[in-house]
Structure formats: C-alpha cells, structure tokens
Structure 1
Amino acid sequence: MKYKAHPYQAYATNFILEHPIAAILLDMGLGKSVITLTAINKLIQQGQVHKVLVIAPLRVAKSTWPDEIQKWDHLKGLSYSVVIGSPAQRKAALLADTDLYIINRENVKWLVEDSGVAFDFDMLVIDELSSFKSYQAKRFRSLMKVRPLVKRVVGLTGTPSSNGLMDLWAEFKVLDMGQRLGRYISHYRERYFLPDKRNQYVVWTYKPKPHAAIYDQINDITISMRSKDYLQMPPLTMNQVKVNLSSSEQEVYDTLKNQLIVEVKHQQINALNAASLANKLCQMANGCVYDEDKHQILIHQRKLDALEDLIEGATGKPVLIAYWFKHDLAQIKSRFKVREIKTATDIKAWNEGQIPIAIIHPASAGHGLNLQAGGSTLIWFGLTWSLELYQQTNARLWRQGQKQPVVIHHLITSGTIDEQIMRALARKDKSQLALIEAVKAELNGGKEYEQHYVELLG
C-alpha cells in the first residue's frame, strides 16, 4: 500500500530525524508505528543507523510492527527479526542479519543479561514508554546498563503519566540518562514535588510543587498529539449506570471497610492491609468476594441485573464487556452466552459481526488490538485503577475507522469504592492532559510539513 503521510505524521517523523532523543506522545490511532518506521527507514538509507532494537508489548511485537512493515510499499526494503519464543528461538532471531530486532518488554532482562549476544544496537525504540515508568523494575535496570551504548532513542506512548508526574522520571531517564529530570529519583522528588499523604515520617504520596517546571525541562525532545485534533473520531458518549445495594448488602460492605473483617454465609473475609482491603472492596462492588481459600462468595447480583438491561437496550447490536476479576467472568458467563476475545480467531469473528456478546480483560485489550469493526458499545462491568489500561481498552472501539457513535457504559455500585475509582481516573487524566497540552506539537497548520513526506519516503 502506498503511504501518503498526513501533515502531523510527516511532522512527527521529521522530529525523530532531527532529534537523536525523542519522546513522541501520540494518542491511539495516530499511526506511531509507521511514523517511526518511516524515520528508521530514512536513517538506514542515510547510513546513520544500522541496527535497531524495538521493545514493545508482546502482542504488538509479535504482530503490529511486522504487519506495519509488510503493509507499506516504502518499507518493503526493511528487514526484521521477531525475538520471541523459547530462549533458543530468541537467540537465533538475535543472530539473524537484519535491520530491526523486535522484542517484547518482558524479555529485556534476558536480552541484556542472559542472551549471550552482544548488545550492539545503535538505535532503540521503546513502544509504550510508560511500561518503563518504574525505576525499580528489572526491565528498567537492565536497559539502563546498556543505554549508554545507544546513540538514538525514541520513546512512544499515549499515556506518559497515567499515575501522575512522578512516572516521568524513569521514562525520561531511559531516554536521556537523567540529563533533563536528574540522575536520581530522590533529586527529582526534592526539586519538583512536596510530600502529600504521610504516616508520621513515612510519605505515601507526593504532589507537584506550584509552578514546577517539569514540562519546560522535557519540552525540547518531546511532542504530543491528540487524536481529536487530527482524526475524524466518532461521537463518544460516556455513561455511568448506578446500581444500589440493599441495606443488608451495604452493611456487609461497610463492615469489611470499617473493621477489615466480616462474616458472610458462615465464611470469614479478612483484609490484612490497605491493598487487600481495596481489592476485596472492588470485588464486593462487582458482586462476589474471595475467601482465604479462593472460593467465591456471592454478595449481590446488582451489576448483573444492570448488565442485562444494557444488553437488552442494545437491541441486538454487539456489545463488548470489560471485566476485572475471574469471578466477574464466571458470573457473567452464568447468565449470558458470551465469547472471550483472546485469540486472532476471536478478533476476526468479532470484527465480522459473529459475536453478539464479547468479553475481554483490560490487560489483554491493550496496544495494537483493533475491534472497532465489530461493535460500538463497551460496558465496564469491573473497573480498573489503571488509567493506561482504561484508555487503551476504550480505544479498541473509539478510534478512527469506527463507523458508529461509541457508547461506553460504566457499572457503578453506589456507596462503594467504584465511585473512588472513577474519580481517580478523572484526576489522573487531568494530570496527564496537562502534560500533553504543555508539549503539544505545533504544526502551524501542518502546511510546511506536507512537502516532507515525499522526501521521507525516499
């Protein structure tokens, strides 16, 4: 297929060409893979780059990047090797003589420390830079060992600060080795943040200082683009469907919340710490809770009833249901005939309109999964605290190419932690949007970059 870059795509590709270190913050659907591959192709043609490593989520590494290379005529000259499978298969893929080596992020530690193959890449692309937001993670530490060996780095993500601006330190440390936000997380915290929630001397959370100049520090290597500014996005309706517990059901919930222990149907439910309590309250809000032996105990079916109403209200149109806990899946399956979206066959069947009710877990509904052809209604049965998973799941249906207005329903159990999760997602989104707006790409209408796309294609 012939590639005619949109002005924003030519702008982003040109930005990568002109910046050896580049943070490209692009919303889902803007074509970050082809933007980056076009730049890589040009750099290889110019002799500036010879060996490129792409780190991506597993599904994206396995399918999306290879598919993009094969899709576009101007990329036909690029050769690639997908570094997945058994250790022997991965090593063989690394030893192949090729331009691009595409590996999933879970194997970064193996690549650096255990593969036995020299790390001699001169360009690094991190697809979903946000997956390196934890400076304590093994993948981050391993990559930092070899980061000085790489002369060009591109970080791609649409969710750079899904848990707040503290995430940015590790992400930009991978990019510039601490040049802009500091070499140490402690210095970053001290310079840009104030203690927020604490327990005596232990600080649990931090908040940005007034007028913290984080955006100014990263602006020179960062651009951001939002889908609504460049794409014809379908209309979107976000809806909250409230359900109410009975007095006895609410009492069970409140007892666990206040006392960290409650007896339900002769089974004792304990919450040993704050994390355990939050997890069990989420379970209860959805309808069930696990006991110590991992047996599910039914608390209510309020969300199931509301889900039934929504499915009936869809009047035969396909619906996609997002669940969180395994007992959510079991409860939904007990009432409805559903099909899980797990394989390429499932995806194809959904997009061909063969699945009236589909169900998916947000962790498997992430990057590179296109479901917009199969339906336009998404129902969140169980919520997630993760803004990244939340936005990525929504973007499976609400994206360019969707022919119908999209409706996203959220089943919210009143008086429960569900309400806190929705508020938390809204707060995180506001913080992230502030960052994206601060480093927003200015195309001057895009006119000056239209001429570049011909040159970029060689």
Structure 2
Amino acid sequence: MTKLFKPRPWQPKMVQHMVSLERCNVFSGCGTGKTAATLEAIATLVLFGKAQRVLVIGPKRVARDTWRDAVQDFNPSFGWLTVAVAIGNEQTRRAAIEAGSVITTINFDNLDWLVTNFGAAWPFDMVVVDESTKLRGLRVSMRKHPASGKTYLAGQGGSRAKALARVAHTRVKRWVNLTGTPSLAGLEALWGPTWFVDAGHRLGNSFTSFSHRWFRAVPGSSPQQQVIEPMPFAEVQIQNAIRDITVVVDIKDYVDVGEYVEHIIPVELPAGARRQYDEMARDLATEIAGQVIEAFSAGTKSQKLLQLASGAAYTDDQGNWVLVHDEKIDALKSIEEEALGMPLLVFYHFKSDAARILKAFPKAKHLDDDPRTMAAWRAGKIPMLLAHPQSAGHGVDGLQYGTCKCVFFSTNWSAENDAQAIERIGPTRQMQSGFKRIVDVYRLVAKNSVEESAVRRLRSRVSVQEALLEALKNYQPQQ
C-alpha cells in the first residue's frame, strides 16, 4: 500500500539541512526516516533545478532494495523520481547508469569500476552516501604541483574510498553523508567521511595532519603497528570543527521510545575448555581433539580466544573447526524457554556458531536474501532467526515485526555493527511499527574471558558516540 510522505516532526530538520547546504552530514539513527527525508530533499532540489542526477552509494542490500522500495512506498509523493539499480554484472550496471534515471543506486564494491569507466564523463551532480562510515578508510590529500600549480590527489587508503575521492570534489556539486553511527569505530573514523564533504578544510588536509593534531600513539604500540588514541581535548575540538556542516536527529528528543534492557548471561567454561583457553592465552597454542591450534600474532590470538569462549575453534584456513564446549547452546535453550514463545533473533560472529545453533535448534532459520524468509519471520513462522551483525546491521528492515528479543551468542569488537544490529529491533523500530513492548538484549559472555573485555569496549565506544552526537545536536550556528 502506497502513501503520501507526511514528515514526522524531526524530518523537516533533516530536509532543510540537505537543501540549504551543498555538502553536509546527517547523523540520524535507525528508524528516523533518513531515506524518506533524503528523497524529499532530492525531490525539492530537482524541482528547483539544483540537482539533476543523484548517485546513492550504500551496502549491497541498501543499494538494491531500500531506496527503490522507499520510492514505491511513497509513490504519490516520489513516484516520479525514477530509480535505476546498478548492481549485478557489468552489462546490468552499465545499462542502469546509462538509463538516465534521476536516482541511481550502487554498492560500495563497485565504486572502483564506476570511477574507472565513467570518471571522465561523470554523470552525477549529487552524491548521497548511505552508511558513510564505510568511507572511514580514506587516506588521501589534495596537493599542488610545485611547477604547474595544479591540484592533484595523493595518498593511500581503501581502494573504494580512494576511487570515489577522485571525483568527489571535481565532478560532484552536492554531497550528503548519512549515518546513525558516525564515531562508533572511534573519533579517527570521522576524518574520511568529512574529507568528502570539505576536502580536509575542517579536520586537516590529510589523515596524518589530523592524527598528529588530535591523537597520540598508545604506549607500547610499535611503529609498524601503531595504535592511536585521542588526546584529552580532541573530542570537543573535533565536534566544534564539524558542527556547521552536521545535523543530528535523535528521535528521543521528540517521543519517548524508552531504552532496551541488556542482560549479561555469564557462561562458565568447563574445566577442559578453561585449560585450553588458558593455554592459548599463555602459549599461543593448545590441543583440542588431538589437533594443535596455534595463534601467530596478537590479533590472531584475540580471535582464537573469542572462538574458544564461544564454543568452537577453527583448525585451519579452510573453515574446519572442532567443538570446545556447548555451554552457550545450553544457555540459549534457557533463554528460548523463558521467552515463552516470542521468537528470538540470534546474532553470531563465527560460522561455526551458526552451524552449531542450527543443529541444536532444527526449526531455526538463517537470514538470507530470499524474500520469503523475511515474510515468514514477519508472520511469526520462524521461532529463531540467525544473522551476522555485519550483514543485518545495514539495509534490513522488518526484523522488528518478528520479535523484541535478540541474543548475541558470541562477541566481537565492532561497536558499529553491534549498535546497528540492536537497532534493527530496537525501541525506535518498535515504536515506529506500532508496538509498545520492551526490547531485551541478551549477551552470552564467557566468564573470565576476552569476551568480557569486548563487551566493555563496546560500551565505551557507544559513550564516545553519544557524546559526539549530543554535542553536535545542541549546536547553534552564529548569525
């Protein structure tokens, strides 16, 4: 059923920001209607001749489904905005771009191809980056040639972001960064997306100058693998630097959506698993079921310890694994019983976890691209749905209809994926969908393990995120 776009109280603020500023950030969480608000801004700009063709970049699921579906949902308002999806084989992508649609969507993985094939005849005067934190790996700078005085692009960084940087300031007039989690990966994640807005004007012409100004090396980190941390004054100064180009929308300023309730479920490792865990932590190696499992670096050790804490460990690079313990399977069974029939959304980090859960719970189903899976989940026909936070965190809508309870079977270090995953069924989504129910988040955490440290890190990262958004939200530009 289609409907007219009727702005919610917080959406005009987003629309006005995108219309009035040629290049800007919109920091707004899941469920606040970023897509619809951006379509309203695009429609306004096109109608007044301020934009002609818009490129929307996002994760694959977002680029493939979200924008086209939103135009269809609000067909009376936006149906005239033609949409082409540049995903698939090269012939399909090329046809979509050459169709001349007002909006063309593409996923991040195809940016290299897009710039290589269309950079010289770039057809888009406006770019919208949905989930702009994906650009945080940029490490470039604009420099002037000493002889000719011409400006050129130099530097390193992720290939997709670097490819996009080649056209960002030479071919694109209007730019919008959309995200609900701008700094969950740390304040250092703000430089890349901000560079696409202002070419380094606010946070520094290069990541090197940015890091030298506001960060310092963590004591003990080596020059080869240097880890940086923000200096005490960094957060406030960085906030002040990007206030004028950033709008923050928090739905909690307008309606009472409540908070989710977090439950930490401690899991005691059996004696054998505890011995193997301690050996890995101490010696970078242990023996399980007659197989020696080794870690060859600190990073590998961290992952091995997370695997052991979760209940299975990989024995090679081919995906083979051995069982360590089933304590978390037992804990998940207890949660299922206490849920009293409410379906569970279960997040996992290792494929071995998913395999074990599917074996222990025969009626469980893995979230996939088949639309029938989501339809069955929304209809309450799937008692347990498995998803990886990275794949479920972006562009998946409808999970909130199936449940208000999620379980993190295992833990990892990405605060961004963690927060995005929770928000898919979180209080905002529940409220937007007409439900008045408490959201429960269960975390199965092995006692005296690296998982406890990971959970503490997730919480500290969120506090940085909240502080940033709060400071930017209260910004009043000088007249």
TM-score interval, normalised by the smaller of the two chains: over 0.9
Q: Partners in 1 of 2:238 and 2:259 — Cα distance?
A: 33
Match of 1:455 in 2: none
Report the Cα offset of residue 230 of structure 1.
3.0
Q: Partners in 1 of 2:118 and 2:436 — Cα distance?
A: 46
| C-alpha RMSD of the superposition | 1.7
Which ranges of structure 1 fall in alignment gaps of 5 or more residues? 444-458
Match of 2:313 in 1: 289
* Equivalences for residues 146-157 of structure 1 within 5 A: 146-148=167-169, 149-157=171-179
Q: Which of 197, 201, 206 is equivalent to 1:184? A: 206
Structure 1 pair 104/117, CA: closer, same or farther in 2 (3 Å)?
A: farther
Q: Partners in 2 of 1:86 and 1:295 — Cα distance?
A: 32
Question: Is residue 228 of structure 2 the alignment partner of residue 206 of structure 1?
Answer: yes
Question: Is residue 420 of structure 2 the alignment partner of residue 392 of structure 1?
Answer: yes
Report the Cα offset of residue 363 of structure 1.
2.0
Kindly indicate whether the alpha-carbon contact (under 8 Å) linking 1:339 and 1:355 is maintained by their aligned counterparts in 2: yes
Match of 2:104 in 1: 101
Match of 2:62 in 1: 60
Match of 2:144 in 1: none
Match of 2:410 in 1: 382
Question: Is residue 72 of structure 2 the alignment partner of residue 70 of structure 1?
Answer: yes
Kindly indicate whether the alpha-carbon contact (under 8 Å) linking 1:234 and 1:404 is maintained by their aligned counterparts in 2: no
Match of 2:385 in 1: 358
Match of 2:147 in 1: none
Question: Is residue 153 of structure 2 the alignment partner of residue 127 of structure 1?
Answer: no
* Equivalences for residues 14-29 of structure 1 within 5 A: 14-29=16-31
Cα deviation 1:303-343 (Å, max 9, x = unaligned): 11111111111122211111111110111122112111212
Which TM-score applies when normalising by structure 1? 0.93
Q: Partners in 2 of 1:199 and 1:17 — Cα distance?
A: 45
Percent identity, aligned pairs only, is: 34
Q: Name the SS of the counterpart of 1:7 in structure 2.
A: coil
Question: Is residue 285 of structure 2 the alignment partner of residue 261 of structure 1?
Answer: yes
Deviates more, 1:67-76 or 1:167-176: 67-76
Match of 1:50 in 2: 52
Structure 1 pair 116/122, CA: closer, same or farther in 2 (3 Å)?
A: closer
Q: Which of 331, 334, 348 is equivalent to 1:323? A: 348
Cα deviation 1:99-151 (Å, max 9, x = unaligned): 11111111111100135872131111000110101111111100110012111
Match of 1:448 in 2: none
Deviates more, 1:330-339 or 1:417-426: 330-339
Q: Partners in 2 of 1:87 and 1:201 — Cα distance?
A: 42
Deviates more, 1:242-251 or 1:263-272: 242-251
Report the Cα offset of residue 81 of structure 1.
1.1
Q: Partners in 1 of 2:336 and 2:102 — Cα distance?
A: 48
Match of 1:174 in 2: 196
Structure 1 pair 216/354, CA: closer, same or farther in 2 (3 Å)?
A: same
Kindly indicate whether the alpha-carbon contact (under 8 Å) linking 1:28 and 1:227 is maintained by their aligned counterparts in 2: no
Which contiguous aligned blocks of 4+ residues in structure 1 show a shift greater than 3 angstroms?
Answer: 114-117, 197-203
Q: Name the SS of the counterpart of 1:315 in structure 2.
A: coil
Cα deviation 1:397-447 (Å, max 9, x = unaligned): 11232442111100000011110110110111111111111111579xxxx
Q: Partners in 1 of 2:319 and 2:177 — Cα distance?
A: 40
Q: Partners in 2 of 1:331 and 1:197 — Cα distance?
A: 40
Cα deviation 1:59-89 (Å, max 9, x = unaligned): 1111110111122222122112111111001
Report the Cα offset of residue 201 of structure 1.
4.4
Structure 1 pair 284/4, CA: closer, same or farther in 2 (3 Å)?
A: same
Task: Give the letter for the 2:47 counterpart.
Answer: Q
Task: Give the letter for the 1:373 counterpart.
Answer: Y
- Count residues with an aligned counterpart: 444
Q: Name the SS of the counterpart of 2:400 in structure 1.
A: coil
Match of 2:467 in 1: 434
Q: Name the SS of the counterpart of 2:401 in structure 1.
A: coil
Structure 1 pair 93/117, CA: closer, same or farther in 2 (3 Å)?
A: farther
Q: Name the SS of the counterpart of 2:182 in structure 1.
A: coil
Task: Give the letter for the 1:53 counterpart.
Answer: L
Q: Name the SS of the counterpart of 1:161 in structure 2.
A: coil
Report the Cα offset of residue 274 of structure 1.
1.1
Q: Which has the higher contact order (CA 8 A, sep 6+)?
A: 1
Q: Partners in 1 of 2:86 and 2:134 — Cα distance?
A: 18
Match of 1:407 in 2: 440
